Chain A
Amino acid sequence: MECYLGIDVGSVSTNFALIDKHGKMLKKLYLRTAGRPIETIKSGLKMLKEDLKDDIEIKGVGTTGSGRKLASVIVGADVVKNEITAHAVASISEIPTVQTILEIGGQDSKIIILRDGIVVDFAMNTVCAAGTGSFLDRQAQRLGIPIELFGEIAIRSKNPTRIAGRCAVFAESDMIHKQQLGYKVEDILKGLCQALVRNYLANVAKGKEINPPVVFQGGVAANSGIKRAFEEELGMEIIVPEHFDVMGALGAALLAKKAMSQNKQKQTNFYGFEAAFKEHRAESFECNGCPNLCEIVQIYVDNKLIARWGDRCGRWSENVAV
């Protein structure tokens, strides 16, 4: 069977999506990157390989996320795309009329505005921690609540506590304070959901025109408390797509499918699942060529140098004999 593979490498999670030639999801993986992107990409490949029947043939590969370049040189990608476009493509494939995408992942959050099926505007927040999945994880942990139950419990609240949500540090200390005052856990959780949503709308979505259909995706979309808080704040229905947690990977796979079908002659660059069994090594050094002192990253496969980046001048990246 002909398939396409999408890989989304972020600093918190690394996701895989394998789709068939109609764009149907065959298999998805959501793995923790844990600071080891190369190992995570390889173990993802291994897991896919073990799960799949042998008649699978990968016809194209797309990578996205902050580690898209790294993933691309490890697996051999046909398309390397930014995560905004990838998320939009995936969303459109599930809800073709989508006009607004709210995305909250582990390490960042974004908003994408679409009209007539094309992206017209977007914004992205990579600085502020208060609006991300990692922050929610931490607070759930602090309250001793499994993150999976976070939303469920929050939704029970009748009297949400008001939590200052401007910044992660304030939100946290405010929450601790409210906890000490004896507020109910569900009220605090709901308050936290509302704070995160307010913060997102005031910062990430500032000045954007949010029209329905609104799709909510990214890891945090699993949290029904946040979804509810968005619905209450925006006064609209919020759609969480089936594959909300791997939309970037799905988008990358769809983009690979599109690129390969536009050019029928082209063979995929995919190195095959064997890539998972090769030895990869990333090294870095400081270039002394000029006062920029760039940190150059070198990627080796089985001791052969295959890619380099990090230079501002092209001195290293443009000189890799492949």
Chain B
Amino acid sequence: MRIGVPRALFYYMYYPFWKIFFEALGHEVILSSPTNKKILKDGLEFAVDDACLPVKVFHGHIVDLLDRVDVLFIPRIISIEPGEFICPKFLGLPDMVKSSIPDLPPIIDSNLSVYKNRKDLIGHAKSIGTDLGHSSRLILKAYTIASTKFNSYKKFQISHEQLPLDSGQKSFFDSNSSYFSRHKNKCLGENTLNVLLLGHPYNIYDNYISMNLITKLQKNGIKVITPEIIPVKNISAGAKNLKKRLFWTMGKNIIGSTYYYMDCGKALDGIIHLASFGCGPDSIVGELLERKLSRNRLVPFLRINIDEHSGEEGFNTRLEAFIDVIEGRRRN
């Protein structure tokens, strides 16, 4: 069967797992095209007006898959870290899509929650496999392969500081080399400008939405660090500085990374927060970061809000000015 996976939202977190899992079950995985103008346009057309930009983009990816798949994969994601939740928008996604887009193929929408235990991922796999009519034995086998590889993928990402861009994922699938080189505690380069880039994975790694932000930074000789290549224990250590425990994963990743690197002095040259318009969590986190960082002026901070009308012009101007700021700080 051809299983359509939208290249949006959870794609940036779990894609390797599902790809391996589905293939081990004997299915073909069809990925939607990288976000482009048409996908964005379709998203804006079909999604409800008050949805955040990433959810709109998600709708566009579904449209992109419509004619070329037998089933659509839209899991109902509740929790991706024990004891934490993710944004409630993920929970309503399958229903939202069903009510907004007509003539859909069947949808696999099994729950994914590891709120109680990380191992509950197996429950998610079982329900997908059962929906597709496979035996428990085969499902278990596929799950074992997928989860083993997925875990090594995540380790690889950190040890090789491999950003989970599309190219990053590809190089993982292509390489048979050993991924287990020891990871550095801090990823800061000594002779480069180091910038911590914060934001939801589906914003910062989607080159269309982020207007190639990562490439633009790298072209300026800047080393880009994102929460995805920071060891989880460092993020948790950073997040401990907050008085209250953060219960939603993406907010924790952003704040935890910031606190962890904030005190690095001149070793860290700048922090950029790419936020999407219409995202409640982003505006709260952004506010918090801004207050923390601007008040103490520990490290230059740039907050960029993107929406469907964002022009590349103003975006580039801010970015270039920010690069001037961090270069000036380095020289001083």
B-binding residues in A (CB < 8 A) = 66, 81-85, 115-116, 118-122, 124, 126, 207-209, 290-294, 312
List 17 contacting pairs A-B, 8 Å CB cutoff, sorted by A. A82-B316, A82-B318, A82-B320, A83-B317, A83-B321, A84-B324, A85-B321, A116-B332, A118-B325, A118-B328, A118-B332, A121-B325, A122-B321, A290-B36, A291-B36, A292-B37, A292-B208
> Among residues 66 to 90 in chain B, which have CB atoms less than 8 Å away from a CB atom of chain A?
none
B329 at interface (Cβ–Cβ under 8 A)? yes
Q: Shortest beta-carbon distance, B199 to chain A, in Å? A: 18
Of all chain A residues, which has the CB nearest B294?
Answer: A207
**What residues of B have a CB within 8 angstroms of the CB of A209 in the complex?**
294-295
B301 at interface (Cβ–Cβ under 8 A)? yes
A119:B294 contact, CB within 8 angstroms: no
Cα A120 to Cα B37 in complex, Å, equals 35
Cα A83 to Cα B300 in complex, Å, equals 18
Given contacts A120-B329, A126-B311, A291-B39, 5 further A-B contacts (CB under 8 A): A66-B314, A85-B321, A121-B300, A122-B322, A312-B212
**What residues of B have a CB within 8 angstroms of the CB of A121 in the complex?**
294, 297, 300-301, 325
B103 at interface (Cβ–Cβ under 8 A)? no
B318:A124 contact, CB within 8 angstroms: yes
B291:A126 contact, CB within 8 angstroms: no
Cα A85 to Cα B321 in complex, Å, equals 6
B190 at interface (Cβ–Cβ under 8 A)? no
A122:B37 contact, CB within 8 angstroms: no
Cα A207 to Cα B311 in complex, Å, equals 24
B329:A118 contact, CB within 8 angstroms: yes
B317:A66 contact, CB within 8 angstroms: yes
B314:A291 contact, CB within 8 angstroms: no
Of all chain B residues, which has the CB nearest A295?
Answer: B37
For B311, B314, B316, B324, the residue with the greatest tally of chain A CB atoms inside 10 Å of its CB is B324
Cα A111 to Cα B321 in complex, Å, equals 12
Cα A83 to Cα B314 in complex, Å, equals 10
**What residues of A have a CB within 8 angstroms of the CB of B318 in the complex?**
82, 84, 124
**What residues of B have a CB within 8 angstroms of the CB of A312 in the complex?**
208, 212
User: Looking at the complex, which one of B37, B291, B321 makes contact with A82 (CB distance below 8 Å)?
Assistant: B321
Inter-chain contact total with CB atoms closer than 8 Å? 69
A120:B325 contact, CB within 8 angstroms: yes
Cα A293 to Cα B208 in complex, Å, equals 13
B320:A120 contact, CB within 8 angstroms: no
Interface of A is mostly: loop
Q: Shortest beta-carbon distance, A230 to chain B, in Å? A: 21
A293:B321 contact, CB within 8 angstroms: no
B297:A120 contact, CB within 8 angstroms: yes
B308 at interface (Cβ–Cβ under 8 A)? no
> Among residues 287 to 311 in chain B, which have CB atoms less than 8 Å away from a CB atom of chain A?
290-291, 294-295, 297, 300-301, 311
B314:A119 contact, CB within 8 angstroms: no
A119:B325 contact, CB within 8 angstroms: yes
**What residues of B have a CB within 8 angstroms of the CB of A119 in the complex?**
321, 324-325, 328
B33 at interface (Cβ–Cβ under 8 A)? yes
**What residues of A have a CB within 8 angstroms of the CB of B301 in the complex?**
121
Cα A132 to Cα B7 in complex, Å, equals 40
B50 at interface (Cβ–Cβ under 8 A)? no
For B37, B290, B300, the residue with the greatest tally of chain A CB atoms inside 10 Å of its CB is B37
User: Looking at the complex, which one of B38, B311, B325 makes contact with A293 (CB distance below 8 Å)?
Assistant: B38
A-B pairs, top 5 by smallest CB distance, nearest first, are A84-B321, A291-B38, A82-B320, A291-B36, A118-B328
Cα A83 to Cα B320 in complex, Å, equals 9
Cα A207 to Cα B302 in complex, Å, equals 13
Known: A84-B317, A85-B321. A293 touches B294 (CB 8 A): no
B174 at interface (Cβ–Cβ under 8 A)? no
A122:B325 contact, CB within 8 angstroms: yes
Known: A120-B329, A121-B297, A122-B321. A207 touches B36 (CB 8 A): no
B313 at interface (Cβ–Cβ under 8 A)? yes
Cα A108 to Cα B294 in complex, Å, equals 22
Of all chain A residues, which has the CB nearest B64?
Answer: A291
Cα A207 to Cα B295 in complex, Å, equals 8
**What residues of A have a CB within 8 angstroms of the CB of B316 in the complex?**
82
Cα A122 to Cα B319 in complex, Å, equals 11
Cα A58 to Cα B284 in complex, Å, equals 51
Cα A81 to Cα B323 in complex, Å, equals 11
A292:B332 contact, CB within 8 angstroms: no
Cα A293 to Cα B39 in complex, Å, equals 12
Cα A84 to Cα B317 in complex, Å, equals 8
**What residues of B have a CB within 8 angstroms of the CB of A292 in the complex?**
36-38, 208
Of all chain B residues, which has the CB nearest A126?
Answer: B314
Of all chain B residues, which has the CB nearest A68?
Answer: B317
**What residues of A have a CB within 8 angstroms of the CB of B291 in the complex?**
207
Cα A277 to Cα B246 in complex, Å, equals 64
Q: Shortest beta-carbon distance, A287 to chain B, in Å? A: 11
For A119, A124, A209, the residue with the greatest tally of chain B CB atoms inside 10 Å of its CB is A119
Of all chain A residues, which has the CB nearest B320?
Answer: A82
Of all chain B residues, which has the CB nearest A65?
Answer: B317
B321:A291 contact, CB within 8 angstroms: no
Cα A85 to Cα B301 in complex, Å, equals 16
**What residues of B have a CB within 8 angstroms of the CB of A84 in the complex?**
317-318, 321, 324
Q: Shortest beta-carbon distance, A261 to chain B, in Å? A: 17
Of all chain A residues, which has the CB nearest B328?
Answer: A118
Cα A292 to Cα B36 in complex, Å, equals 5
